[in-house]
A and B are shown apart, each in its own frame.
Chain A
């Protein structure tokens, strides 16, 4: 490239080592720092061999100029820029034809994984500064951008990983260094998703189809190694809270993987539908039981229902519930039993909440609320009319409440809380559930948000 460099006689020595001491299938050492810029929404500094790359991500934010904005998704913009001192000769500042091309193909490498449809009429800007260049800057930049995007909390279906292979002294080697890039016979940069789908591919030089096949195998291995480095960096930053709630992690790991694999939000919707159907069935069954119970309760009127009866009913409902819903439900039911008597009188209060109440899904959240309610409840009177009224509304709700109604309407407090969580769920689900898997994984509260999809997958399994 520059006047001072001379072609070495051999780029690979007789014992199979390259000029920098690597074997054919080794990548250069990589170092990643995350969150290095305070003004950017997400940032990453990456050193790979002697490459030094800084990436800042901004957005989703307003689009300038406005005519570039899209009504149905975010605009992704990728700007690759080389510092004028990053190469041997002083480079002219500003975009070159080369950097414009690299920006385009790199953007296209990310478009399949960035969930741009979640942010219509916005722009997601990825700015890459190559501070020092030493062969493979576009692959290094893509690896860094992947991390910066995650740092910015941009929802992605997975990380993008990039690595090049090439041909040097007739051999296929991974991750070319400067000499190999200058004097080698071929250069073949690749970017791929976590599943190995290729999202960027360029090539110049001479390769046979067999060599390409071999090279792609090699590059897959390289990308896997890089992915591990990327994941480790993200874990280090985002996984810290995990230690506080070890259980949650194991709990959610499955879910997390599922979410990463899941392709479209639509799927969640359909899964949710399946679950709702299942829940409705349960409800119907339970309603039948409820009717019987209410009859009984009416008869008994002011007497507190006998425990034996209640227990039977509870057992039946539990059995039903267990089939379809989570263990959590069972737990809640048991707890409810304890609360029963107190709750008897609250109905009047709860009627209001019933009207708005949709189906329950998250029981964990409800528990604390339930407790509050039960402590509050002490004065209300028991009315058979009210009972009937509530029953009709109870029909719309799931197993838990039924159990409660059997016992004397304690569940109503829960219903109230359910309503709350319900309204929260759809809004957060869309945005947060799909953000970085790491974050979800760590924190207890997220679990609530995820519930719909969780139960959805359960529904599928059954």
Chain B
């Protein structure tokens, strides 16, 4: 093994200069989001006239008007709940199905394994647009349009091959002796999975769960296609409807709801920051 060393600068630029550049860059990066946060607390008529980041006049009105803008009984609560159901369903589906498939690829004898594995990797790269039309026709013919099923059931069928790959890599690295020891104790492949492999794979399962949640929460295309009535809209689709229905007349409410929709993602980021950044670095996720 190579020893781990933080590479020191070949030539020492003044570090202060780098820090200044990085801080300016970070401020520029975050400025738009902070500006939207601030704008969501400004009175409608001050959003573009009050350039300061700290609102001269502080109001929660936008949150109230935005929450009720689309006229559903529970306001945006409906869409938050729908997004939550879809995202949690996707997480459960992905964690169960991808871990099962990954276990078979990583630890079980399988005829034609290389063939299946290659096929699995091939689907990682497959653009969703190449299959969406027939999928739509299929789901329409079994009456699933306007339900959450087209968004959740595929996850139970391990269609997110990327996470299978992630877990295969993780499970392959677990020591082989575990299998032998478990066999000695009379443990079959199913119990080995449930009692040994799955508990040891917790980091990979958690990474999968978090990324599935975040990606499903902000996914737009499939939700736009499969959900057509207001009551079952998820947040992204509801935000788009809000944008189209009010046009440019209600920025305040739009910003307020946009900010609310980002909070779960941001919360996950704060809670699992290390896991997320390391997950990306070690597996090369698109993130």
Q: Does A pair with B?
A: no
